[in-house]
Amino acid sequence: MTRGAPPQAPVGHQAYLSSGPHYDFLRYRQLVHEITLAFSGISREILQIKGRLEEQHGRPELAQHLARVQQKEQEKLELTAQLQLAKQNAQDQPGVEAHQQEVRELKHKLIKTIEAISEILQDLKVARARPAGVTP
């Protein structure tokens, strides 16, 4: 269900960080652009699926679960971007504890967001197994 970041995203960011202190920003920007296009396509697909669930299949509760997943995936994407910047700051200024703390906090938030996505997906599986119109 949730595809998450394309596999090249973490590898691409790690390659970018290893190119410091004179970062290869143009190459990294191209990778981010490609990933953004992929996420945009996935988002359009999700919107179409939500529409079909509501209109053709009479399953608005499933569409709501998908909307929640999509919202959490957006949060995950934003946290990932913040974490990448925090990692760069921590690498560029290794003696600044505030940067290390920010990395730890963002990793924790990212883990919590991933856990929330897993819970929503589990709720979606349970809801999908129920006949249309039946609530718990």
Question: Rounded to whole angstroms, what are the CA distances from 31 to 9, 17, 25, 40, 45?
Answer: 8, 14, 10, 14, 21
Greatest CA separation found in the chain?
59
pLDDT in tens, the chain (136 residues): 444 555 556 666 677 677 766 677 787 788 888 888 998 999 899 999 999 999 999 999 999 999 999 999 999 989 998 998 899 899 999 999 999 999 999 999 999 999 999 999 999 999 999 887 666 5
- H helical segments located in 93-136: 97-129
| Cα–Cα distance for residue pair 35/104, rounded to 1 Å | 25
Predicted TM-score of the model (pTM): 0.76
Tokens of 35: 């990933």
Both tokens of 128, joined, read 């999908």
